[in-house]
Each structure stands twice: as C-alpha cells, then as structure tokens.
A and B are shown apart, each in its own frame.
Chain A
Amino acid sequence: MADTLLSVRDLHKHFPVKSGMLIARTVGEVKAVDGVTFDVETGKTLGLVGESGSGKSTTGYCILQLLKPTSGSVRFMGKELTELGREELRQTRREMQIVFQDPYSSLDPRMTVGNIVGEPLAVHGIGSRRDRTSRVRELLDVVGFNPDFTNRYPHEFSGGQRQRIGIARALALAPRLIVCDEPVSALDVSIQAQILNLLKDLQRDFQLTYLFIAHDLAVVRTMSDVIAVMNQGKIVELGPAEQVYTKPQHEYTKALLSAVPIPDPRKMRERKVERRRLRHALASEL
C-alpha cells in the first residue's frame, strides 16, 4: 500500500505584480507557493490546511496543471506532469480530478445536470451516447443524487445537491486522485456532514486518493491521514494527522489549533481566560 501516487518537490508559483497604465511592467512578485514538498500515498488523504492566502488552493491548481508552476516537480503515477505535452497531459487528466468549493460557480448554469456529469465522458469519447446516459445515472446514484433529475438545471438544487453533482463529474472518468478544494466550506453543518461521509465512502469504495484542501481544522482532521500545515506559501509542519493535532511542533500550528472554536463551553472558557492572561502579561512587559 505504501506506493506513492503523487510526489511534489520544491514547488514554486510566483505571480507577477504589474504596474503601469499603457505598458504594464512587472514591479515585483508574490510568492503564492514557495517551495512546497510532499508525497501522497495511494488510497490515502493528505490534508492541506491553512488560512486564506496561504497558497493551499494555488498548490492544488499547480499540481493539476491548471496553473503552470514557476518551478519544481510534480510526479504523478510516475510521470513528470510539468514536462508533459498537451495531448499527454490531456490523457493524464483522466486520472486526476478536482472538486471545488463553491457549488454555485462550479457548475455551468446553462447545462443540464446530465450534460455536466456526462461531459468528461464526451470529452474523452468514452462510450456511445446511450452508454454515457446510463453511466451518468449510475454516477449520480453513487453520489446520492436522484438520477431522475438529469434534465434539470443546477440552479434548481440546493448547495449540498450541487456539490454532489460536482463530485459525480469528478468521478466520471474513474480518476485515481481527486483534489478537494474546500469542498464543504460553503455548506451548512448538517449538509457538510453528508458530503464528508460521501467522500469517505467513495474513497473506501473506489480506492481514491485525496488531496484535501481546507481551512477548517476539524474538517481536515476527519478526512486526513497526513496533514500539511501551510502558511505564506510554505509548509510549516507535515506529519501524521494524530501527531500534528496532539503534539504540534511549529508555533503556527499551535496558534492555529488554539484558535479553533470547539463545541465545548468549559474548554472554550478556559482557553479564553488563558489568552487574556497571555495578552495582559505581554502588555505589562512592554
């Protein structure tokens, strides 16, 4: 089981900062991803956690080659993705898919549910039209979406249902890796649990490998075997989930963990008193 499906080495993504009216000049760089290295084993989940602007989504896009990395290596199923030609990359995309955060902007409002889920099959010319129709129904059934609604449009459904449609589309090509980019952060708690359970079930049933990107530490914890904590484009801590959460080494991880609100009033009050004490101690020192 310990074979590595995805291996990222020293990944960088810098965005130019442009200035000037008529002729834009590059005046600087933002290092959105600044030397990221990690491996993901087949069938496991790597949780990539960090606050907004930490570069976690950009890392995901760079791995999928939706953004071209500035430098670094992304090896997936033994292939160096950054060096693949257009057609080879197109074929490799069948093996790696993505689920997005926003269930509203991730589905084309002018396509029916059936066409959205069937599009990956159509793009890769898999099966006849009839095969595809039955495969779409199958996929929708797997994600818990009533297949009788294939002719409806996405805006007719709630956020949770739309997210199921997005997951069905990601599953259509039977990929090995799915990048989940904040897949539940736009959903209500009760719906979030449904989607997280679904993702867990799918991983078990289809031996999926996840790169699970989220800002919510509890959500990442429930999904991940290995956790990478990102801050300002860098991974500050990487390790088995249990270890990162119970014995955090890096100060940033500690700060992050101590700030998470947990549904336990007693513990929260203790923490609050502790934080207040720390701040006053700090203030009197100055």
Chain B
Amino acid sequence: MVVQPGEVTRDVGGPGAYAGTAAGAPIRQTSLWRDAWYRYIRNRAAVLAGVVFLVVLAYCLVWPAVSPYDPYKVDFSQARQNPSLDHPLGTDRFGRDMLTRTALGGRVSIGIGFAATIVILVIGVAYGAISGFIGGILDNGMMRFLDALYGLPYLPFAIITLAIIGDINFWSMTVALAIASWFTTARIVRGQVITLKENDYIRATRAIGARWYRILLRHILPNTLGVLIIAVFLELPAVVLGEAFLSFIGLGISPPEASWGAMAQEGREVYRTSPHLIVIPSVAIAVLVLCANFVADGLRDALDPRTRET
C-alpha cells in the first residue's frame, strides 16, 4: 500500500497508524463464497456430479418444448418400439416417445423434489431455529417431540398424510413428502444455531442491546446458510426417491401425466418384452439421486466452517 501524502501518523500503533503503514490493508481479498467455490471445483467427483445434475435439469426443462413429439399423443402403431434413430429411447405402450416422456416425468419428479425441499427447509428452519435459540425446557420438549416423530416410518407417514388430504396431485404429494421428512433438517439447523449462539459476536450483539429477533434474523440465520445449501442436496434425493416409491405402488401422479416413479410402474408390467420401459426411468432416478449426493458431499467439504479459516 502506498502512503497517502498529507496524512500524518500520529503515533506508532496508535490512532491514525494505518495511514503510515501497511497495517490496515486486508491480508486476503477472497470472499468466503469464492474460497468455497475454489474448494468445490477441486473436487472432481462433485464437479462432474454438478454438471450432470445441471444437464439433467436442462434436459427436463427444455426438451419437451423442442422435441418433435407430443408427449401425450397416443399412437398404437408406434407402441413399444425399442430404441432407434427416430426414438433414441424407444416408445412406450401408447407409442409415445420415451425421450420426451422421460423429460416430462423428470419435470414432475424434480419439481416435487424441489417444492418439497423448500417446504422442508421452511418447517425445519423455523422449528430448529426456535428450539435451538430459545433452548431450555422448550428445546427439550421440542426435541423429544421430534424423537417421537422420528419413530414413525417415513413412507407410511407420507401415505397416511396423502390419504388424509384425499386428492393426489403435485401439491398434495409435495406436502405429504415434506411433512414426513423435515425432522433431519430441523435437527441440523438446531445444532448449528446452538453452535452459533456460543460465538462471541452473538454475545457482542446482546451486549449492545439488540433484541432477540435481530440476533436471530441478522446474525444467526444468515450464518446457517451454508448448512441449508447442503441440506437442499441431502433432502432432494430423499424426496425424489420417496415420490418414486409412492408412484411405484400406485399412489402417484395419475396418467396421462408422468413422473419417473409412475413411468417405472407402467414399465413394470412389460419388463420381459420391453425392459427399456422400466430401465430408463430407474436409471434417471438413480443418476439424479447419485449426483445430488455427490454435490452435497462436495458442498459439505467446501462450506465446512471448520476448514474456512487458514
């Protein structure tokens, strides 16, 4: 740093000292997020998984719009074809192009995945943050309640919720899956909040007389962002798998709409003669789940606050 002319160094190390020395200059200029990014891109598996994940996402979003085939149009003359140049992934028993159907199914599967994940985050953050922040008896009670919910098996819980709602559609499935699986996120958030609460900057904020909601909203929640991003990629595959399972046992989106689980269920009946009809949606689910898990692992290594310093 250059010494600015005209600025006077009043005293060594005392007020004004920054003007005469390089002492005031930042020692590093990377942001926390950029550091995390560099750590992430060093992890080859995570980068590859992230790219595949984005490609799958883009394919699901874009392909149905540009595809030459209508994913809903039934044409029995084209039924159950094996993969060919015209239909790279073949056709289903109604003669619909599988490449287009799979993209459509992906929209629903991933859509429910993200929607449910958002609901999970909202419930989980609220529950976990309140429990961890207030602490004491309330925390104890809320955690015991969570323990009790943990005891319930995940899918039956979702099935019962669906039955109570009655109607099966995109939103009811989102709600059913979210309600059955927000517990882990709540726990993670609570743990993080309790750790953050012990930081001196939280004490400092209390010492200046900040009210509790300011401490929670300005200081604690922003610092849980890292674990929340990881939580998204942990919850997403779980929800996608849950949706697939529900659809597979016939509690999913009804035709002519599709999800990967519903497609696999349709393919199950003809798996001897046209195995691609069950293999393709299954592989799609597997790829998505695997990628999300690798991304979550990569993010955890990149965002772990313990490795952030140094």
Chain A residues in the interface with B (C-beta under 8 A): 22, 24, 61, 64, 66, 89-91, 93-94, 96-98, 100-102, 104-111, 119-120, 123-124, 141-146, 149, 152-153, 155-158, 160-161, 166, 169, 172-173, 193-195, 197-198, 201
Contacts and interface: CB of A to CB of B under 8 A. Distances in A.
Contacts of A197: 11-14
Given A109-B32, A161-B24, A146 B13 contact: no
Contacts of A161: 23-24
A119 B15 contact: no
Contacts of B32: 109-110, 153, 155
A198 B14 contact: yes
B201 A123 contact: no
B209 A104 contact: no
B142 interface: no
B29 interface: yes
Nearest to A143: B15
Contact of B201 (A106, A145, A153): A106
B26 A119 contact: no
Nearest to A93: B209
A119 B205 contact: yes
Given A109-B223, A153-B31, 8 more contacts: A93-B208, A101-B200, A105-B200, A109-B308, A123-B214, A144-B16, A157-B27, A161-B23
B17 A144 contact: yes
The 7 nearest A-B residue pairs measured at CB? A194-B13, A146-B24, A93-B209, A106-B200, A156-B26, A120-B208, A100-B200
A152 B15 contact: no
B207 A155 contact: no
Contacts of B23: 144, 160-161, 194
B27 A106 contact: no
A93 B203 CA distance: 12
23 contacts: A89-B209, A93-B207, A100-B203, A104-B309, A105-B199, A105-B200, A106-B199, A106-B200, A107-B201, A108-B205, A110-B223, A120-B209, A124-B208, A144-B14, A144-B16, A144-B23, A146-B25, A153-B31, A155-B32, A155-B308, A194-B13, A194-B17, A195-B13
Contacts of B17: 144, 194
A60 to B, nearest CB: 10
Interface residues of B, number: 40
A186 to B, nearest CB: 11
B306 interface: no
Given A93-B207, A94-B209, A119-B205, A145 B27 contact: no
B221 to A, nearest CB: 10
B151 interface: no
Interface of B: 11-19, 23-29, 31-32, 140, 144, 199-201, 203-211, 214, 218-219, 222-223, 225, 308-309
A277 B19 CA distance: 53
A89 B23 CA distance: 37
A98 B203 contact: yes
Contact of B204 (A90, A98, A146): A98
A157 B22 CA distance: 12
B28 A100 contact: no
Nearest to B18: A146
Contacts of A157: 26-27
Q: Which residue among B12, B209, B211 has the maximum number of chain A CB atoms within 10 Å of its CB?
A: B209
A66 B201 CA distance: 12
Given A110-B222, A153-B32, A156-B26, A145 B203 contact: no
B18 A145 contact: yes
Contacts of A91: 209
A157 B24 CA distance: 8
A24 B211 CA distance: 30
Nearest to A64: B207
Contact of B18 (A105, A144, A152): A144
